Structure 1
Amino acid sequence: MKIKKILAVYATAFALLSCSDSDNNLNPAPDQGGLAAITINVKGNVGTRALTGDEAGSAKENDIKSLEFFVFNGDGSYQKYYKPTALTPNSQYTFLVNAGNLTVFTAVNQNLGEPSSAPASLANFKESSLYKELSLGGSNSRTDVSDATGFSMAAEGTVNVVEGETNTLNLSVRRLLSKIESPKVDPASQITAPKADLLKILGLDESGTVPSDLAWTFNGYMVINGINQSLAFEYENLDNWKRFATASNFKTTFSTDGRTVETVYSVQNDDASETTNGFLPAAYAKPVYVYECIPSTIQGGDGSAATVFNKDEVVALIIQGTFSGTGVSAVTRYWRVNLLKDDIWKIYRNSIYRITMNDIKTVGWSTPKEAENEGPVVDPTESTITINIEVANWDVRTENVDL
């Protein structure tokens, strides 16, 4: 009898043990013993962005002065914030994370700080006014920059952190700013504007003849940065930021007759001598930097908003040029060039914009204000994470335009 009772107890214990093992196999506990190292290098997706090349930036454009990491779990929940106490020569950083499919946002030269309260979700974090510029697809409205801070940069990457393995994710951070270089004129450019229009604006008899030596001279340009609260900057000799003067509503303003530019992004606060009525000279050698901007989508007349954007929010150039020739005293006209109309008017971060002016196919406008207004509204176990940082080359975007 005793033997039977012992066997019964043993059988019951074995059954319970088997049940426990089976349950654990359904939800196996993670191995607590291993650590994983991750290296991070993701350049932003440029698959849909028309590029014509890339080039390395200068030392100041590439400087990393501070780093911050924001880690999210696979379910979108917030995991942690980490800021290295010191920068390393090899730009590699290691810290503890919980294993799993992670999304890591990296902020460079921004000093955003740890969220005061844990973000409700990854989606909420991307929409936060303070952190939305970290999202590769986002538009941002940073309001200042300094030589001490450097170029604001960001990167986003995902990685499956497996405990006990060495995991790698590389991050190539991208500047939030884009660089607009002074526009150039194609040496082979020709004046092909309609004869009647030319005779009218040149003050000649409409039945007359356009001078055979009629020429067009590029005099200067201004940068219109319409997106609300996006500012334009000049980085003179890569030593000191110069913020361009802005209107209180961040829009370009003109005199009543539209001939005098009162506030515009291409007028410096501290050096008005470099500008004439808001226009930078044609030989202006320093680039203008603007933050990435994506204009608001507005409703089209047919109810569709797929390809309709607010032109008052886009980045554009106002070109100033002069017609001259026999019997023609210098006649100054103005043209608007949108950046980039063929790319639905978005200005992408980390891009160099280069404009080449080809043929003069229209006579432009009589005042800068008319030119600015011109144009249609276009249709649970700890793992280590090791992060390697590099600065991406500038993406080069070129545009040939007829005026």
Structure 2
Amino acid sequence: MDGTAMDYNLWARQQHDNVARTWAALRREEDEIEREEAVVVGLGQRLGQLRDRIQVSPRAHIDALLHQIAKDEARMLAAIEAVGARLAHEKSVFNRELQRISHSRANTPRSDRHTRAAWDYAEQIWRDEEQGIQERIDRVAALGLDCRRRLASSRRRPSIVDDAEPREPRERRQSAKSVHSPPTADRFLRERRPSLAAPTRDFVRERRPSAAVPTRPATSAARPATAAASHRHYQAADEHPRRDRKEKEKEKEKEKEKDKERDHRERARSVMAADDRMRTAAAWTAYECRWAGLQAPIPSAPTTPLTFHNVPWPVGFQPDSPRSLTPDRIKRFLLSPNHSPHRSPKERLRSALSLWRPEEWEDKWINSVEPAERDKVRYGVSVVAQCLGELLKEVSTKHSPE
């Protein structure tokens, strides 16, 4: 029985070594994936800055900013698709090994239970690796879908400059076009009409004395001294409705401008929210990938020494000093609704706390840190662990039954 157990342990060790060799062969793919993910994260931060600039930029510059955002979205989509293609290639490598294991297990006699159990264990090892790659593929696919939706909405968005063009220049251009338009039947008739105008003018001239306005009789009373003032008063009274109409038109124009600005702010706010979701999801994917590399390193692959600036801190960006590791940033990143929807806040915090215990770092990863950076990393780990403990206590108190 001891010999059988030893053979089984040797078999398991061989399978783990095979997995490590496979990952070593895929090291180039992983490096390219990390590079593309860094591009995605950088573009996400740049898009966030562009969205912020839209809020304070004049209307004449908004079209240029939207065009730049569309270009960056297209570049981000290309990088996301490149990551998905490389992950699919990695999955195909593990799928081929799973097919080989299934074929070997099918050819093993049922009476040889020990060998069949060994093949089952090997299949479980390789299946776990394949499922991890599939989870990464699902996250990348979700990011690509969001990016495509934003890109499609930006292409359908009308131009702000065209909407902001005043009505008078457009009407002036339309009137200029109508002046130089080709002659129509109506214009042709109007041009021929002067040939009939002379008799008409004679007829009107002959009838004009009888149609003239009768003069005042000599016996009529004298015009009062306030007649001119009364005339001016009546003329001003006639202008009141016209002035009211102009004021109403101005008020309508102001309301339209306010509605346009309100719609523009709402569109920009929705675009910024979508960009924030994408940026957080991309940062979370990069965070998990970095931790996967720390937890399961490839023995034969070259490793980069850890420093404070390449440790995957749980804040969604790469901080410059431990002062950036604040509870608000850690809470905003770990408990964000833009990732891990199937996990409760307590589960997320417990999982993170298992990674950031100082004793775990001393046992597993502190020796991989450059000696000059170890004190700084130790302090950062202790700060993160303290923040996570306080957040976990807060969440447990909030969700505990009264």
Relative contact order (alpha carbons < 8 A, sep ≥ 6): 1 or 2 greater? 1
Hey, which of these two has a bigger chunk of helix by percent?
A: 2
User: TM-score w.r.t. structure 2 length?
Assistant: 0.21
Higher-Rg member (1/2): 2
